[in-house]
């Protein structure tokens, strides 16, 4: 049985235009179904109905193909280059090409660069993935002959002026031991002779990383793209090609929400453990009609799974391998505070003493934080959200519209947590909670990966002496002022 879809989707699937533009064509009366001008939202059967735009018939959409490739060096990603000895299409097995359709890469990797590349026959989808306004991040392993000195790292972090504008990195750090082991396995002995960095880009200037590193006197020897948005290279070997599953494609598509079209702000709330980030955020979001996400749920969920399965909490790659089991889910109030593990809800098991004790240990790993980062950013991309955590304004949402930081003494935090757990009258229990909070603060503020700190430009709210209701009211008023003014005022 054929599937009926809305007419603007049928036009987009046929490659006529994006869904938004296709809907505009319908509004303008330029689209007809079986010879009759159609209306917005009309259902059609693409396999049976005849669609026309300005009187011209639209070819029926062919089967869509979405592939992921780990491109080797020496292979050209521009399929139209007649002089290329070998292109990416030469690597794609015939069984993955669909019904003889023309595939083309989504973006490019230069001939000597390696790693993740998407191929498709869906032009509209490719354009959404490529459009610079979406700023889909790409993460690369960058191999250089010698370690960068402080001046070189500082210059790269500030940005390098190009003719076409200022070239900037979204992130730069040294590769971890686990990441270097993965590169050894991927590239062989050559990897061990290089110093490796992980560089993240939101821009898309031609040969950007090679030019930036060359500008500071550190030419790139090997360049491997290891992440595209939420998609990671994982265990793929160079030359591997696989289909892009619908679930992975859906995650990528959530990243491409048009920022200029979204309503409402992206608000970050940072603060130490027990400062009330989640409680305040949940209630403020409800008052404002915003979505809410407690990113700590992800770290607690990963810790819970690792402990339950007996995973080595010091093995970053083993922990990253568990990330795919986690699903952050909303409740009826659009609060992303529920966690499913492989489809099983475990929300009520995330605040046990065992998880409290080990969550900082899990959070220490840069690889774990990097693996969870695109999941969090994808959720925030649609706007109208309050997101709470320990590195939201400093790392996860660097371009948040409004950044807040809750400042509360450790004694007050311990008292509140004890009250929440029903042990407020037990002095020993309260003292134990305070000790745990101090230990967590020490770990969070001194860790190498995303240490706890006040975000640049954040509005600091000292909640000492304020009730929960008063703090929530302050946050709601600050958000509403920011919505009205478009900027933060004091």
Tally of CB atoms within 10 A around 91: 18
Torsion of CA 77, 79, 82, 84, to 10 degrees: 20
Res. 31 pLDDT band, cuts 50 70 90? very high
Where are any strands of DSSP class E within 398-448? 402-407
- pLDDT value, residue 254: 73
The β-bridge relationship of strands 51-53 and 344-345 is unpaired
> What is the distance between the alpha carbons of residues 352 and 421, in angstroms, rounded to a whole number?
10
Fold match, 5-57 / 66-252: no
Residue 300 parent element (H or E): helix 296-308
Q: How many CA atoms lie within 13 A of 322 on its CB side?
A: 25
- What DSSP letter does each residue of 330-358 carry, written as one string? --TTSEE-EEEETTEE-GGGSSSHHHHHH
Give, rounded to a whole angstrom, the gap between the first and last alpha carbons of the chain.
Answer: 60
Q: Which tokens belong to 394?
A: 């400093």
Q: Which tokens belong to 382?
A: 């649609």
Give bridge partners of residue 51 from the DSSP assignment: 33
Residues 6+ apart with CB under 8 A from 361: 303, 313, 314, 443
The domain made up of 257-485 has a fold known as Rossmann fold (3.40.50)
- pLDDT value, residue 258: 44
Question: Do the Cβ atoms of 472 and 280 come closer than 8 Å?
Answer: yes
Domain spanning 5-57, CATH architecture: Roll (3.10)
Q: What is the pLDDT of residues 463-484, one digit of tens each?
A: 877 888 998 999 999 999 888 8
CA distances from 223 to 67, 74, 92, 214, 423 (A): 21, 12, 22, 13, 54
* Whether residue 261 has pLDDT greater than 50: no
What is the pLDDT averaged over residues 338-345?
Answer: 86
Q: If you average pLDDT over every residue of the chain, what do you get?
A: 84
Phi then psi for 166, rounded to 5 degrees?
A: -80, 120
Class of domain 66-252: alpha beta
Q: Is the dihedral of CA 301, 305, 307, 308 positive or negative?
A: positive
* Domain assignments of the chain as residue spans, ordered by start: 5-57, 66-252, 257-485
The helix-helix angle for 246-254 and 366-380 (nearest 10°) equals 70
Res. 490 pLDDT band, cuts 50 70 90? very low
* Whether residue 82 has pLDDT greater than 70: no
Give bridge partners of residue 196 from the DSSP assignment: 143
- pLDDT value, residue 81: 60
Residues 6+ apart with CB under 8 A from 190: 222
Q: Which tokens belong to 413?
A: 């935090």
Q: What is the pLDDT of residues 440-453, one digit of tens each?
A: 777 777 766 567 78
> What is the distance between the alpha carbons of residues 269 and 478, in angstroms, rounded to a whole number?
12
Q: What is the pLDDT of residues 105-134, one digit of tens each?
A: 887 788 899 999 999 888 777 877 776 555
**What is the distance of C-alpha 357 from the center of its chain?**
27
Angle value at C-alpha 121, between 120 and 123, nearest 5 degrees: 100
The position carrying tokens 């952050």 is 328
Give bridge partners of residue 266 from the DSSP assignment: 385
- What DSSP letter does each residue of 248-292 carry, written as one string? HHHHHHHTT--TTT--S-EEEEE--TTSSHHHHHHHHHHHHT-EE
- pLDDT value, residue 84: 66
């Amino acid at each position: 049985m054929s599937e009926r879809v809305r007419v603007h989707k049928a036009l987009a699937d046929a490659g006529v235009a994006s869904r938004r533009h296709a809907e505009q064509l319908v509004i303008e009366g330029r689209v007809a179904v079986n010879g009759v001008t159609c209306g917005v939202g009309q259902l059609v059967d693409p396999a049976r109905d005849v669609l026309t735009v300005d009187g011209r018939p639209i070819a029926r959409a062919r089967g869509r193909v979405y592939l992921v490739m780990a491109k080797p060096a020496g292979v050209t990603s521009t399929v139209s280059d007649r002089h290329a000895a070998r292109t990416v299409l030469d690597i794609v097995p015939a069984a993955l090409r669909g019904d003889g359709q023309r595939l083309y890469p989504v973006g490019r990797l230069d001939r000597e660069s390696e790693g993740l590349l998407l191929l498709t026959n869906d032009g509209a989808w490719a354009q959404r993935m490529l459009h610079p306004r979406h700023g889909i991040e790409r993460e690369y392993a960058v191999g250089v002959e010698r370690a960068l000195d402080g001046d070189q790292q500082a210059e790269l972090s500030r940005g390098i002026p190009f003719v076409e504008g200022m070239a900037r990195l979204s992130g730069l750090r040294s590769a971890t031991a686990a990441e270097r082991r993965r590169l050894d396995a991927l590239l062989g002995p050559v990897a061990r002779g290089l110093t490796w960095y992980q560089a993240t880009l939101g821009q898309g200037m031609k040969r950007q990383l090679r030019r930036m590193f060359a500008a500071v006197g550190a030419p790139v020897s090997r360049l491997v793209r290891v992440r595209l948005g939420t998609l990671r290279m994982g265990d793929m070997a160079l030359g591997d090609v696989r289909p892009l599953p619908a679930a992975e494609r859906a995650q990528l598509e959530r990243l491409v929400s048009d920022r200029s079209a979204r309503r409402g702000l992206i608000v970050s709330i940072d603060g130490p453990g027990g400062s009330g980030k989640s409680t305040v955020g949940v209630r403020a979001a409800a008052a404002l009609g915003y979505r809410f996400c407690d990113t700590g749920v992800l770290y607690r969920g990963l810790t819970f799974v690792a402990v339950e399965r007996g995973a080595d909490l010091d093995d970053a790659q083993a922990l990253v391998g568990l990330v795919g089991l986690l699903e952050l889910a909303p409740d009826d109030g659009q609060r992303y505070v529920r966690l499913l593990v492989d489809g099983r809800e475990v929300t009520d098991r995330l605040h046990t003493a065992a998880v409290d004790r080990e969550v900082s240990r899990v959070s220490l790993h840069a690889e774990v934080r990097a693996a969870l980062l695109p999941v969090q950013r994808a959720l925030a991309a649609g706007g109208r959200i309050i997101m709470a955590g320990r590195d939201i304004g400093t790392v996860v949402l660097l371009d948040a519209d409004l950044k807040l930081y809750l400042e509360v003494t450790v004694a007050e935090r311990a008292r509140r947590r004890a009250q929440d757990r029903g042990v407020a009258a037990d002095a020993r229990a309260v003292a134990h909670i305070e000790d745990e909070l101090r230990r967590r603060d020490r770990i969070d503020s001194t860790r190498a990966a995303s240490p706890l700190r006040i975000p640049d430009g954040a509005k600091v709210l000292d909640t000492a002496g304020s009730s929960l209701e008063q703090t929530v009211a302050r946050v709601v008023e600050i958000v509403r002022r920011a919505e009205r003014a478009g900027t933060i005022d004091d």
